[in-house]
Structure formats: C-alpha cells, structure tokens
Structure 1
C-alpha cells in the first residue's frame, strides 16, 4: 500500500472524482485545512482517511498528512481535480523500487486553460532559481510527488505555508537524495473549486514570496 496525502480546503466538488480515480494499492489521506463546504464528510463517504489540521497553510496540511501516513512510500497531490491520480504509479513506483528517492511530476497542461500564464511564468522562474541554487535538474515544482516516508520525516521540514514543497526539494538535494521528475498530465481543476496558488495572481505572489525566502537561504 502507498499513502497519498491530499491537502484540502473547500474541495468538495472535486473529491468524488479524485478519490474514485485512485489506482489500486493507493490509500487516500485527505487533510482538511478548515473547509466550510463539507469536504471532510465527502472524503469520508468516498473511503478516505480524514485528518483535521486547524492551522491554515499548505505546508501545515501536507505535513499533518505525512505524520498520519503509515506506508513506506508517501505521495502528495492536489485535491482539486487538476491531476490525474491514475498516473500516481509513474511517480511512486521509482521510489518503491529503489530507483529514486524523490520523484516529482512535471506538469504537462492538457489545455491552455489548465495553467494560467502567471502560474507558468512563476513556476519557470522558481525552477530556474532552484537549478542554480541547488544544482537539481528540475523544470517544475510539481505538486504530484513521492518519497520514502521515514526519510522524508527525517528531513525535518519546517515551512508550513507555500514554501513546503520547495523546502522538501532543497533539503532532499542537500541530503544527497536522487531527485528526478517524470511527466504527468495537468488539466483544468474541477468546477466549483479554485486553486489556492495558480488560481489568482495574489495566490501566486504569496507562493513566490514564500519560496523566494527559502531560495535566498539556500544560496
């Protein structure tokens, strides 16, 4: 069994399709980060383990899911329907089989509407800075990723906001992990949901600010 951590804030419209799309051998841990739309109840009805994390922040939710996980390999993914969770084996199996320590899904948009321009530009800039700061050959800070649970917990990640995914990559690189990426599909999120990062210029700016702080410290 492989655990899949799904940080969640008001994703009720997306959750049924997201959770029924999990491939065999993968178990969902939905971390409710203060939803007001019944996301937790929807997740429970669809067989997910639900963890409540009252402290707001993507990193707070993601880390709570990591602490709740029990499988040897842990994946992370967005809960808004933008990712095809049927592709999780592509990301998780290299870790399971010992071929990599951290695998990120490099997003390949299925349509122009899937990834707004401001989100693509911000991601490209941050990935370029990451390559320079950490020497890792990555083109995307993809939200679908996988790593060994115990080793990931040992990284002692501290960021509890949007910088959490980047801190994971930076600390993994500094620890000598084998970090790689594979292509995954990236489509429009489910109707009735909104990305907390790329869905608005303001959200993207917050993420860039949090990540820039981490990159500055890595130099």
Structure 2
C-alpha cells in the first residue's frame, strides 16, 4: 500500500455482492482498503480474494469505519468511496487531480443516472444542509457525497469526532472553519448493486443526522 499514491477507503457492511465490481474498477496504481464494519456475508473474504487490504472496525457506524480506514492508510492521499456500486471509482482521478493542484478537499456531487429513484427526502436533507454551508460559510458545495479525496494527515488534523452518519457533515463544517479550499465535480450516481446494508445507514437515519447537524450550522 505504501507504494501507491492513493488509498481508496471503502467502508463496508455486507457488501460481498457489490465489492468485486467496485474493486475491479479501482484505478490502476491506487490501493484498495476495505474497512469491515461487522459484516455477516463474507465481505472481508471477498475483499481479500479480489486483492484489497482489509481492516476490521467493530464500532458500528459510517464515521467509525471511515476513520479506521484513514488511520490505516499509508499514503499521502486518501479517497473515500461507498462500496455499494452506486458510484464509479473511475471518477476518482479527477478528484485526486484537484487535490494535487492545490485543493484541500475534492468531493463528488452526485448526479442521478436516468431512471434512478432517489427519494425526495434524502435529496431535500442534503440540499438543505448544503444550502446552509454555502450561505453561512461560503463553502461552494451542493452534496455531502460519499466520494471525496483529501490529504491524509490534513484530514486527520481536522479532528472530526462523529463516528456515525454525521461524519461527512462534520467534515465539511470543520473544513470550512479551517479555511480549506474545497472543489466539487459531478459524478454519476446509480443504483446499488446487490443487497447492501450500507454503513451509512438508512435514508431515515441519514435525514435525522442531517437535521440534528443543522443545529450545529445554524
């Protein structure tokens, strides 16, 4: 992993069905690191068979899994990507390029592919929080997407403490407070592959986290 310029952290909860396709699409030269968050479907074994390094994070929650992966990474840059097949790892090099050109954080703005049913309440929760980030902090973001790239040491230095679904929101607030340069690129957002349980939790849980975090950014 140390010979790669980028570690792709993949937080996983029961992603055995989607992982082979996701790992096959990881760009050449990038190191895949699967963080198993108590899967019961053989996710770690599937990950190893397809060439990924694996670490276990027993504390439940998206933020816990992401943090464990960032800690375990041994590269200057880290990317974080959902492992459910909804996002194409092929979009990562453009985000990496943004960081290498001087951005502190590069994120992917999800753009639904034709025919995708994206629940209105999930879109509303994201839009409302991002509107507040733009108006209060001048942070030009429109998504709290599960695809992002940053420098590992700087990311750890932000001191994000949320270990559940509020992690991406806290990350953006702390980035804004630290004066980070944040870039955003459109990325295709498609349906999940298989029966993923998603470390980030249910839509309802994500919306509740967004509403709770609204108190922090209000």
- TM-score normalised to the size of structure 1? 0.92
User: Contact between 1:126 and 1:208, CA under 8 Å: does it hold in 2?
Assistant: no
Count of matched residue pairs: 214
Q: 2:9 aligns with which of 5, 11, 18?
A: 5
Unaligned ranges ≥5, structure 2: none
Shift of 1:114: 5.1
TM-score with structure 2 setting the length: 0.92
Q: Distance in 1 between matches of 2:200 and 2:7?
A: 24
Match among 30, 34, 48 for residue 30 of structure 1: 34
The answer (yes or no) to whether the contact 2:16–2:46 under 8 Å persists in 1 is yes
Whether 1:90 aligns to 2:119 is no
Between stretches 132-141 and 52-61, larger displacement belongs to: 132-141
Give the gaps of 5 or more residues in structure 1.
none
* CA distance 1:87–1:118, change in 2 (3 Å): same
The aligned residue for residue 210 of structure 1 is 209
The structure 1 residue matched to 2:64, chosen from 60, 66, 69, is 60
Match of 2:107 in 1: 104
- Listed as ranges, the matches of 1:88-167 within 5 Å are 88-95=92-99, 97-113=100-116, 115-167=118-170
Distance 1:148 1:90, change over 3 A: same
Aligned-pair Cα RMSD in Å:
1.6
- CA distance in 2 between counterparts of 1:62 and 1:196 reads 10
Q: Does 1:176 align with 2:179?
A: yes
